[in-house]
Amino acid sequence: MSPVVRDTSFIDKRSPNMAAQFRERVAKTPNLEAFRFPVADGQPWKSITWQEAGDRVERLAAGLLALGIESEQRVGIAASTRVEWIEADLAVMCAGAATTTVYPSTMAADVAYILADSESRVVFAEDDEQVGKLREHKAELPKLEKVVVFEGTTDGDWVIGLDDLAALGEKHLAEHPDAVDKAVEAIGPDQLATLIYTSGTTGRPKGVRLRHSSWTYEGAAIQSQGILDENDLQFLWLPMAHSFGKVLLSTQLACGFATAVDGRVDKIIDNLAIVKPTFMGAAPRIFEKAYARIITMQEAEGGLKLKIFSTAFEVGKKVDALTLAGKPVPPLLKLQHALFDRLVFSKIRDRFGGRVRFFISGSAALNREIAEWFHAAGILILEGYGLTETSAGAFVNHPDEYKIGTVGPVFPGGQVRLGENDEIEIKGPNVMDGYHNLPEETAASLTEDGWLKTGDKGSLDADGFLTITGRIKELFKTSGGKYVAPPAIEAKFKALCPYVSQFMVFGNERNYVIALVTLDPDAIAGWAAENGKGGASYTDLVRLPEVRTMVQEYVDQLNTQLNRWETIKKFEILDHDLTIESGELTPSLKVKRNVVETNNQALIDGLYA
């Protein structure tokens, strides 16, 4: 199939590097709000302008130069998403260095491996816990000369505070006023900007090398589509150590909107009501949880309220079907929709702040039925697609031109084609420079003519919209020779059962398919309160025969939608939900299927006994 290519005219107009892009934004809109962030729960959020952010970043960058940081040398950031993470990252780039990202949940041994492999000379650490990981493996980090802590204990020598670094920068600027200017001017577009470590086939993380030109392309490509501008307000909670979070920063610099920052996942819904953003990026799990919470709350209400709620969505989906097909909505249906919008849909939108123009979903597949449910309520979720190896963004739907169930067309300036077995292959300015210190793995990730092999299967429609149809390596074959695609089955179950957290399908080279199930702690606690089991622990609840019967009913519904060889013959409910800390979820909330399988091998084997 011939590759799909989109407009490239904007590419030559972008900034030469991310540091210059940041400084251009400061110069263009110095007095507009850049960031806001919480100081303490229950207190007003603090806001800073682009000029204030620029001044802070200038001092921090100068501080890094004073420490002797040179072009393309690596500086690590081991912290959760917060405004200091962004300031540190911008400072690293303005010093001409490259950021090595480290998730705060990463085990100490893996932190040491990432920092040693990247040869990071300085690390920004969030707190004493992160510093403790560095101290534990200090002997393995001979290149690490200084730790800059956001909050926590300093020793005035190896560990200093963020303000200490800024003060060092002020002194350096007094002696060398143009130090940062010279560092920024020296940055070439193909210079290394970021090292993001992702799972490797050997079990060791592998560093994805991303250039300045990749990030400036990302921001410029989104800006060129007219999706966002200076009037928007983003709520940012995604891990900045993940490429999805980082691409939102490059987009902010290009488009100039303000960003409210708070990485605490348990505060997302509360923060949306406070911040009232116009858009937010999120992983599908956030939408699944919100959907399940609203559904279970309505079912608990019961009676007339539940009937109104259910009827509202019946009407909403009818209107959507007509509208998306380009057909007129009959007057009576239009009146019904307006009534239900006031009674039901507006209240759902208010839970998300009431001003959201759209959400952007990425990092994993979004269940189509859940996307359609939100759309019926007047909430648009634009699904996108990309990999760390493509600087996160490669495809996205547009607010004025979207197709639910697809991830949209390829970014302007990018190219896509379908290779062997319909594997999605990508070429463009956003594709990585390679894997750090891994030439063989880099070569294996590319075709002979230089296209990145994604490992995902897909289909392209006549308009160039991409649909992800599966993960090549996630397909398994039963002992009967039938192929099964777990993600499709798992997505169907999540749309059926509002109490589920994770539904994981297994059956490779087995004679039937089984599933491991975890339940959402909040949703099942609500079920318990309604069924006279309030106060019971999660572990006790999942052992109840009534809970198993409830899950079995949803499994039975699922099986009616599957081919005979795909049906779930047996399942087990785990006594714990999956977590990032256990290593079973990635920081972007994707399931690590191989880890879950390994951790529960005996249980899985038992289901085949």
pLDDT of residue 471: 78
DSSP 422: G
Domains, the chain, in order of start with CATH, read: 475-606 (3.30.300.30)
Cβ partners under 8 Å of residue 490, min gap 6: 503, 504, 505
- Bridge partner residues of 159 (DSSP): 147
Q: Helices (DSSP H) in 95-197: which residue ranges? A: 108-118, 128-136, 162-175, 179-185
pLDDT for res 469: 85
Summarize the confidence of residues 579-597 as an average pLDDT: 81
Question: What pLDDT sits at residue 201?
Answer: 41
pLDDT of residue 192: 97
Q: Are 587 and 110 in contact (CB under 8 A)?
A: no
CB atoms within 10 A of CB 463: 11
Q: Spell out the residues 6+ positions from residue 544 whose beta carbon is closer than 8 angstroms to its own.
A: 533, 536
Q: How confident is the model at residue 333 (pLDDT cuts 50, 70, 90)?
A: very high
Own/partner long-range contacts of 470-478 (Cβ < 8 Å, ≥24 apart)? 472/421, 472/423, 474/593, 476/506, 476/507, 476/508, 476/509, 477/508, 477/509, 478/507, 478/508, 478/509, 478/510, 478/511, 478/512, 478/513, 478/565
Q: Whose CA is closest to 41, among 344, 258, 304, 264?
A: 264
The least confident of 397-406, 415-424, 486-495 is 486-495
pLDDT tens per residue across span 166-198: 999 999 999 999 999 999 999 999 999 999 998
Query: Given a cut of 80, is residue 548 above it in pLDDT?
Result: yes
- Which of 154-168, 293-307, 370-384, 419-433 bottoms out in mean pLDDT, i.e. has the lowest? 293-307
| Mean pLDDT on 561-577 | 91
Beta-bridge mates of residue 192: 211
Q: CA separation (Å) from 27 to 31, 47, 256?
A: 9, 18, 11
* Lowest-confidence region among 380-389, 424-433, 519-528: 519-528
CB-based burial, 387-400: b 16+ in 10 Å, e otherwise? bbbbbbbbbbbeee
pLDDT of 202 over the 50 cut: no
The residues with which 460 forms a beta bridge, in sequence order, are: 466
Query: For 37-46, 202-211, 213-222, 274-283, which range has the lowest pLDDT when averaged over its residues?
Result: 202-211
CA distance 391 to 578: 27
Q: Is the pLDDT of residue 203 over 70?
A: no
- Mean pLDDT for the stretch of residues 366-382: 94
Q: 223 is written with which tokens? A: 């800006």
Task: Look at residue 444 and tell me whether its pLDDT is greater than 60.
Answer: yes
Mean predicted confidence (pLDDT) in 533-542:
89
Q: Which positions ≥6 away from 453 have C-beta within 8 Å?
A: 419, 423, 425, 445, 446, 447
Please tell me what DSSP assigns to residue 398.
Answer: B
Bridge partners, 43 (sequence order): none
Q: What tokens appear for 329 in the block? A: 């909505």
Q: Which of 150-154, 267-271, 581-585 has the lowest mean pLDDT?
A: 581-585
Helical H runs in 485-566? 486-496, 521-530, 538-542, 545-559
Sheet containing 206-211: which strands, arranged edge to edge?
159-161, 146-149, 122-125, 74-78, 98-102, 192-198, 206-211, 434-435
Mean pLDDT confidence for 19-25: 97
Mean local confidence (pLDDT), 256-261: 98
pLDDT above 50 for 4: no
| Intra-chain end-to-end CA distance of the chain, in Å | 46
pLDDT at 1 over 50: no
pLDDT at 5: 46
Say how far apart CA 251 and CA 223 lie, in whole Å. 7
The pLDDT, as a whole number, for residue 198 is 85
Task: Give per-residue pLDDT as tens, 70-125.
Answer: 999 999 999 999 999 999 999 999 999 999 999 998 889 889 999 999 999 999 99
Alpha-carbon distance of 413 to 426, in angstroms, equals: 11
pLDDT, mean over the chain: 92
Highest mean pLDDT among 3-12, 285-294, 567-576: 567-576
Do residues 46 and 37 lie in contact, with contact meaning Cβ atoms separated by under 8 Å? yes
Sequence length of the chain is 609
CA distance 382 to 219: 17
Q: Are 476 and 507 in contact (CB under 8 A)?
A: yes
pLDDT of 3 over the 60 cut? no
C-alpha distances in angstroms, 457 versus 40, 421, 424, 470, 485? 45, 7, 6, 5, 11
Backbone region of residue 481 per phi and psi (left: phi > 0; alpha: psi in -120 to 50; beta: other values): left
Radius of gyration of the chain from Cα atoms?
25
Nearest to 111 by CA among 142, 143, 82, 76: 76
